[in-house]
């Protein structure tokens, strides 16, 4: 279908929004919603998820104004969240120390909402690029989304690396989210800056591997929760203590965005 990359980007934004909704819901509940502003990202993520589901089901080759506005709100909310989290860390004794980066509000978490908004807006603008004569615009849009995806994968890797370092990489599988996604980020990043006519089979394959890793990470985190005292019988406490179940699917969402970007780039003969 002509709008397939657009709908794939809607799906990517939806997965990121779902990850934020679940993860920030747990984290902010653990913080007892002491600041009323802690409800805002939940509302924004829920709206973004609803807009994304609407986009996935919408087969029209045209953007939707309402979805576009919702995605813009999502990106703005994420930027505000980054500032709030940075302030939360800076005001603690020791400021930006390792201890505070480990246990204070996760500094990079709101970035997922920014990415959901940016990729969602990309989805809406990509829908009209299936028209004849839009090949050049399609390649430009694909390169922009590829660059955003590359930055997102590197940022998500840094966040995972910080938390897995806190966990001392006790399970050898904890190395995977800090090794596979950066390669995917480098590969899709190269697609953003290096024109190439041949299909990027390695990039596509590695992005698919990264997408699988995101879902597999949920299983690994579920296993980590089962090893805590009381296991799943004590779920109400162990879910709060982690490892966070909703975090790994963000890799899946970004990988899908990278695949959509490749689809847009390869529409152009000189992509």
pLDDT in tens, 9-27: 999 999 999 999 998 888 8
Query: Could you tell me the two tokens for 136?
Result: 């050049």
Query: Could you tell me the two tokens for 226?
Result: 């089962």
Query: Could you tell me the two tokens for 94?
Result: 């020791």
Q: At 2, is the pLDDT very low, low, confident or very high (cuts 50, 70, 90)?
A: very low
Q: Are 157 and 181 in contact (CB under 8 A)?
A: yes
- 189 phi/psi in degrees, rounded to 5: -65, -40
Please report, for the chain, the start and end positions of each structural domain, with discontinuous segments joined by +.
Answer: 4-265
Q: Are 170 and 150 in contact (CB under 8 A)?
A: no
Q: Is the pLDDT of residue 269 over 60?
A: no
Query: Could you tell me the two tokens for 110?
Result: 């709101």
- Residue keyed to tokens 């002509």: 2
Angle between helical axes of 180-193 and 135-166 (0-180°, round to 10): 160
pTM: 0.90
More confident residue, 130 or 163: 163
Residue 13 to residue 17: CA distance in whole angstroms: 6
| Count of beta carbons in the 10 Å neighbourhood of residue 21 | 22
Q: Is the pLDDT of residue 271 over 60?
A: no
What is the enclosing helix (H) or strand (E) of 245?
A: none
Supply the pLDDT for residue 29: 87
Residue 101 to residue 161: CA distance in whole angstroms: 12
| Count of beta carbons in the 10 Å neighbourhood of residue 82 | 17
How deeply is 113 buried, as exposed, middle or buried, from its count of CB atoms within 10 A (0-12, 13-18, 19+)?
A: buried
Q: At 3, is the pLDDT very low, low, confident or very high (cuts 50, 70, 90)?
A: low
Q: At 130, is the pLDDT very low, low, confident or very high (cuts 50, 70, 90)?
A: low
Supply the pLDDT for residue 37: 87
Q: Looking at residues 108-122, what average pLDDT do you find? A: 92
Q: Are 65 and 137 in contact (CB under 8 A)?
A: no
Supply the pLDDT for residue 1: 42
Mean confidence (pLDDT) of the chain = 88
- Residue keyed to tokens 């989805």: 123
Residue 9 to residue 56: CA distance in whole angstroms: 9
Query: Could you tell me the two tokens for 188?
Result: 């899709």
- Which of these, 240, 239, 248, lies nearest to 215 by C-alpha position? 248
């Amino acid at each position: 279908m002509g709008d397939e990359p657009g709908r794939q980007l809607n799906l990517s934004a939806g997965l990121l929004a779902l990850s934020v909704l679940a993860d920030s819901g747990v984290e902010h509940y653990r913080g007892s919603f002491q600041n009323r502003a802690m409800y805002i990202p939940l509302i924004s993520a829920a709206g973004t998820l609803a807009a994304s589901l609407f986009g996935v089901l919408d087969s029209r080759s045209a953007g939707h104004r309402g979805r576009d506005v919702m995605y813009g709100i999502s990106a703005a909310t994420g930027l505000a969240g980054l500032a709030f989290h940075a302030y939360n860390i800076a005001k603690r004794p020791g400021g930006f120390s390792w201890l505070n980066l480990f246990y204070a509000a996760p500094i990079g978490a709101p970035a997922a909402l920014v990415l959901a908004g940016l990729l969602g807006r990309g989805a809406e603008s990509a829908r009209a690029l299936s028209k004849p004569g839009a090949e050049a615009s399609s390649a430009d849009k694909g390169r922009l989304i590829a660059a955003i995806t590359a930055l997102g994968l590197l940022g998500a890797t840094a966040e995972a690396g910080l938390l897995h370092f806190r966990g001392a990489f006790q399970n050898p599988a904890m190395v995977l989210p800090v090794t596979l996604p950066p390669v995917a980020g480098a590969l899709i990043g190269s697609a953003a800056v290096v024109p190439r006519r041949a299909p990027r089979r390695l990039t596509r394959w590695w992005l698919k591997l990264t997408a699988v890793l995101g879902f597999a990470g949920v299983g690994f985190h579920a296993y980590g929760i089962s090893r805590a005292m009381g296991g799943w019988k004590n779920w109400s406490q162990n879910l709060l203590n982690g490892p966070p179940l909703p975090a790994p699917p963000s890799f899946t969402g970004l990988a899908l965005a990278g695949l959509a970007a490749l689809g847009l780039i390869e529409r152009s003969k000189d992509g």
